[in-house]
Structure 1
Amino acid sequence: MIELKRIYYTNDLAYSTNDLSKKGWTILLTKKGMYLEKSEVEIILIEYQMIFQYVEQNVLNQIIIVEMNLFCEPSSNYIRKIDLKINQELSSLIQLLFTRFETKDRTYLVEPAIEMIIRKVFRLNISTLKEYFEIFKLIAFIKENLSENLSVSDLAEFMHMSKPTLNRFCLNKINTVPQDLINDIKITLAKNLLESTDEKIFEIGERAGFFNASAFTIFFKRSTGLSPKEYRQNYFDSWKEHSLTT
């Protein structure tokens, strides 16, 4: 059974993400037609913090946001939105759902209707979703084992793929090769730790899979143009300047 947490509807697009700490995936249903007009509808799986940006960038007249207990960690560097295909049956069901919201029909059981729509959409998109969830699984594996100095061979073994197959899989889904994926996750972790902790440089390097501070510094500077020490100093200087002007 699909577990729904909260359903949010608006026809004035005054939606804003009030809780920036929220993470995870939501279902976003959109309609481009005006009140009671039958028009184009879509459904996407989107990372929570991307909703406001997506709504701002697209000409939408109405939206339904469905928060769910869907536990898979997104990768903000790669995948934050998954377009889901719908057929005529689903289009009609989504149109009906919007109509019930528009007319405030309290006899219409919204949650069972949404659960049915999501279940049908997931079934229709099962092969696509499986591939994306494989990517999430791969990213989670890298993050959990980053201090072990992972190699592409380690990833291929974990995914039960040959290295060429893994290479094609990553290029197809996230437009990058496995080694670059590892490096990007290392850099993201290092930046976060430099910004949010007072850990020593060598300690951060160890957590990112480097066995000495020198190798970590060379890698970090090659990727960012700054040494870890310079990056941390620049970050805090910018933060102080921002605090003084606000």
Structure 2
Amino acid sequence: MQDKQIKVLIADDEPLVRQGLKAIVDWSKYDMEVVADAANGETAWEEFRKHHPDLVISDIAMPVMDGMELLKKIKEASPETKVLFVSCHSDFKYAQEGIRHGVSGYLLKTSFNEKEIDSYLSRLQAEIKQATAPLRPEASLDVSPELKEQLIGWLSGDGENEVQSWWRRLEKKHPFLRFPLTVIHLAGSSAERLADRMPERLIRGSRLLRFQLGEQGVILLVARELYPECGDWLRKLQLPDEELVTNVRDGLRSAEEKLETIRMLLLQHRYKRDYGLSVADCPNNIVEAVAFMLAHLHEPISAADVADHVGLSRSYFSLHFKRSVGVSFLDFIDKRRLEQAQTLLASSEWRLQDIAEHVGIPDSKYFSKWFRKETGLTPTEYRQQTKIHP
């Protein structure tokens, strides 16, 4: 498999310098590509957050934000990123401060030469490739495909009775899971990419395990003593909220507590994404109530049934459900039933009676009346307008 190319960002307020660097260097020789360039430090920082380059080549003296400030921000957000300074000045003060903040090299614009550039880029290529090389199989962070499939099956409602034995097998393979644990859920557009670029210091020692779950994001199981470092890394990412959502549960001790936490974090994310439930304000019993409701939409369930299932009084459940979800129990369940009915009408040949029963309204006449009230169309009219033809 071909190695991933090293991404390069060039920042300089002189267009000729930016164009010259892009033109005179044979970037492919170093497995590199220039993904962006910027005329000042502030724009460079925006491009950095957008592209997450492995190497930044930056002038020191730039308008809006200078190279030294850019270096500090990059190193705070991503310590593993390499920064190479270029400047017209040979003042030792610049070099000294840059070294103190983690710069990887210092090139003078007045004495650019191919040999010096080649020396820097060859060295940085080797350092970056070593830092981002895949882990050896025996040191992999990722859980085995078999164990991941079993987790997904359990989360989908299969193998409920087998989950404890599944966890024991996981503990046997990864002994740190037997001790106090932190569970971190990463979601959003950057979750998997960031999980693939974890700093090396967090990977060492086999005290971190990762479930990459596609649209559901990434679950990290972290030895509790490692969490402060992991938390620092997450805080320094400085990504927009829509790119990364982080939810953390710390100090988990029993297997039951750890398993339930994993399940709840993933359910909370799903319901936040699909139904607008607030992850921060939604208690576990309300999340559990939503799971029960969705699994029993085909039955004529009541608020009292759901409240009893989660161990709450009907009045307390109704009040807290509306506070957490933003709509009443009846409005929420009606909307879910309507969505299912619309899907079945548009995509299946089911009889109205079968669809009515499937969404928990066994009386087809009442179903038709209810559907028209909700949509302004009879089920037959809706089907005719939306039918998906093969």
Q: After superposition, what is the alpha-carbon deviation per residue over 1:61-115, rounded to whole angstroms, capped at 9, x for unaligned?
A: x952678367xxx9xxxxx9xxxxxx985542336789xxxxxxxxxxxxxxxxx
Shift of 1:211: 2.2
Would the alpha carbon gap of residues 95 and 130 (structure 1) be closer, same or farther in structure 2, given more than 3 Å must change? closer
Q: Which of 78, 87, 92 is the equivalent residue of 2:232? A: 92
Please name the residue that 2:361 is paired with. Answer: 210
Cα separation, 2, equivalents of 1:121 and 1:170: 23
Please name the residue that 2:292 is paired with. Answer: 141
Would the alpha carbon gap of residues 188 and 129 (structure 1) be closer, same or farther in structure 2, given more than 3 Å must change? same
Shift of 1:215: 0.4
Give the alignment of 1:16-55 within 5 angstroms: 32=49, 36-39=74-77, 45-46=186-187, 51=188
Contact kept? 1:38, 1:95, Cα under 8 Å: no
Cα separation, 1, equivalents of 2:284 and 2:342: 26
Shift of 1:44: 6.5
Shift of 1:151: 1.0
Highest relative contact order (Cα 8 Å, sep 6+), 1 or 2? 1
- 1:174 maps to a residue whose letter is V
**How many residue pairs are counted as aligned between the two chains?**
165
Please name the residue that 1:123 is paired with. Answer: 250
- 2:232 maps to a residue whose letter is S
Cα separation, 2, equivalents of 1:64 and 1:190: 39
- What SS class does the counterpart of residue 298 from structure 2 fall into? helix
Cα separation, 2, equivalents of 1:158 and 1:142: 10
Contact kept? 1:90, 1:121, Cα under 8 Å: no
Please name the residue that 1:182 is paired with. Answer: 333
Cα separation, 2, equivalents of 1:132 and 1:63: 30
Please name the residue that 2:386 is paired with. Answer: 235
Contact kept? 1:146, 1:208, Cα under 8 Å: yes
Q: Alpha carbon RMSD of aligned pairs, Å? A: 4.5
Please name the residue that 1:21 is paired with. Answer: none
Q: After superposition, what is the alpha-carbon deviation per residue over 1:107-128, rounded to whole angstroms, capped at 9, x for unaligned?
A: xxxxxxxxxxx8x922289796
Identity in percent: 21
Determine which structure has more spread, i.e. the larger CA radius of gyration. 2
Please name the residue that 1:197 is paired with. Answer: 348
Contact kept? 1:187, 1:220, Cα under 8 Å: yes
Cα separation, 2, equivalents of 1:132 and 1:180: 19
TM-score (norm 1): 0.51
- 1:38 maps to a residue whose letter is E
Shift of 1:197: 1.5
Would the alpha carbon gap of residues 174 and 197 (structure 1) be closer, same or farther in structure 2, given more than 3 Å must change? same
Cα separation, 2, equivalents of 1:69 and 1:160: 33
Please name the residue that 2:211 is paired with. Answer: 68
Q: After superposition, what is the alpha-carbon deviation per residue over 1:135-183, rounded to whole angstroms, capped at 9, x for unaligned?
A: 4422231232223211111111112111221122222221111111221
Please name the residue that 1:161 is paired with. Answer: 312
- What SS class does the counterpart of residue 146 from structure 1 fall into? coil
Please name the residue that 1:83 is paired with. Answer: none
The runs of 5 or more residues in structure 2 that have no matched partner are: 1-5, 9-47, 54-73, 79-183, 197-209, 218-226, 239-245, 253-260, 265-278
- 1:122 maps to a residue whose letter is R
TM-score (norm 2): 0.34
Would the alpha carbon gap of residues 149 and 45 (structure 1) be closer, same or farther in structure 2, given more than 3 Å must change? farther
Would the alpha carbon gap of residues 124 and 233 (structure 1) be closer, same or farther in structure 2, given more than 3 Å must change? farther
Cα separation, 1, equivalents of 2:195 and 2:379: 40
The runs of 5 or more residues in structure 1 that have no matched partner are: 1-9, 13-30, 56-61, 75-79, 81-86, 99-117
Cα separation, 1, equivalents of 2:354 and 2:248: 45
